[in-house]
Amino acid sequence: MRLFILSLLAAVLLTISPVQGRPLASCGDVITESTVLTQDLVCPGSEYAIVMGAPNITLDLGEHLLQGDSTNIGVFSNGFEGLTIQNGVIENFSRGIFLANTPDVIVQDLTVRNLEVTDPNNFIFGVAINDSQDVTVRNMLFE
């Protein structure tokens, strides 16, 4: 009986505990739930370091570094609304963040630096916004 009560209590506590997000596994992941980076992530050779693959999720870099190899895109989303990207450093990409057809987004508390020009006929973008409405960019540092 005591074991049953402890199991029931544990189940109740798990259902009311806040979800912290899952740790990011590797470069190129398509995330479909809120995710917290638990360590720096270096992504040479990946077309996209992280792809936002569902609506209404948060990517929290957890004060960590997301680093590319100058030819790729740091964080990419196409067609998902209600996203938040926050809290870390994105460096050495051709585009730090690229949002396409992605409305209602918050990009905040990030440093985007050391972006590389891979084609002199193209611009570099810290945050590229294409056909996306209601995008808020705040508390950013671009170096």
Tell me the residue length of the chain.
143
Q: Which residues contact 101 (CB under 8 A, 6 or more apart)?
A: 78, 79, 130, 131, 132
Convert the pLDDT of each residue in 57-100 to its tens digit: 999 999 999 999 877 899 999 999 999 999 999 999 888 999 99
Task: Please check whether residue 113 is in contact with residue 140, taking contact to mean a CB–CB distance below 8 angstroms.
Answer: no
pTM value is 0.79
The total of other beta-carbon atoms located within 10 Å of residue 83's CB is 24
Q: Which residues contact 139 (CB under 8 A, 6 or more apart)?
A: 108, 109, 110
